[in-house]
A and B are shown apart, each in its own frame.
Chain A
Amino acid sequence: DGGITQSPKYLFRKEGQNVTLSCEQNLNHDAMYWYRQDPGQGLRLIYYSQIVNDFQKGDIAEGYSVSREKKESFPLTVTSAQKNPTAFYLCASGTIHNEQFFGPGTRLTVL
C-alpha cells in the first residue's frame, strides 16, 4: 500500500535530550513537510523539502533540524534548544498544486 509512515507513535523526551522523529513515504512525491499541531493552533509549518538534499525553514523552525538524504525519508530532530516541544507532529508529502498527504502523526511528550 502506498502511503506515509511515521514512527514512533508516542515518544517521551527528557529535558536536554535530542530526539528524532521518522517519516517515510512510498508515494514517489518530491515534496515533504513537517508540521507541529497544538490544541487550538491548527498546523504550523516547521520545515519543508522540495528535493533531495535541499530544505527550507517554515514558520517555527527554531529548535528543530531536518535532513533529506533520500527522496523517501525526511526525519525531524527536536533539539534541546526547543523549549516547549510537547506537541503532535505531522509529516506530509505533496504533489503539484500543493495537494498533501499526511502520516498518522507522532505525539511527543517532555517528561
Chain B
Amino acid sequence: AQSVTQPDIHITVSEGASLELRCNYSYGATPYLFWYVQSPGQGLQLLLKYFSGDTLVQGIKGFEAEFKRSQSSFNLRKPSVHWSDAAEYFCAVGDGDDKIIFGKGTRLHILP
C-alpha cells in the first residue's frame, strides 16, 4: 500500500533563508508525486509535480523538488523564503490509477 511521511510537523525559518521540506513515500513502482500548499482556511494549490523524466522539477513561486528513487524521497526546496511562504505544505503520492495519498503536512513558519 502507498504511504507518505512528512517527518516535520512544524518548520521555522528566517525570511531570506533557504528551505527544505522532507517527504518520504512508500510505493512499489515509479510513483506520481506532488507538493501542494495551503493557506489557512483555503483550498490546496499545486506547487509542482513529478511524473517521469528529469528528477529535478521546477514549480511555481520559486519552489523545486528532487525525486530520489534510492531514498524514496521527494523533498521540496526554496533558496530564499519570503514571509508570504508561511503556510502548510502537503506531499502526495499517486499510482496513476484513481486516487492519491496525502502526507499529514508540514506547517512552515517564517521569522522576520
Interface residue ranges, A against B (CB under 8 Å): 4, 6, 31, 33, 40-43, 45, 48, 50, 56, 58, 88, 90, 92, 96-105, 107
Instruction: Report how many residues on chain B are interfacial, defined by Cβ distance under 8 Å.
Output: 24
Q: For residue B100, which residues in chain A have a CB less than 8 angstroms away from its CB? A: 98, 100
Q: For residue A31, which residues in chain B have a CB less than 8 angstroms away from its CB? A: 98
* Identity of the chain A residue whose Cβ is nearest the Cβ of B102 in the assembled complex: A43
Indicate if the CB atoms of A98 and B105 lie closer than 8 Å: no
Interface residues of chain B: helix, strand, loop or mixed (majority): loop
Indicate if the CB atoms of A105 and B42 lie closer than 8 Å: yes
- Contact partner of A99 (CB less than 8 A), chosen from B9, B46, B97, is B46
Indicate if the CB atoms of A33 and B99 lie closer than 8 Å: yes
Q: Is B90 an interface residue (CB 8 A)?
A: yes
- Contact partner of B98 (CB less than 8 A), chosen from A48, A88, A104, is A48
Assembly CA distance A107 to B40 (angstroms): 12
* Identity of the chain B residue whose Cβ is nearest the Cβ of A101 in the assembled complex: B46
- Contact partner of A107 (CB less than 8 A), chosen from B9, B32, B41, B102, is B41
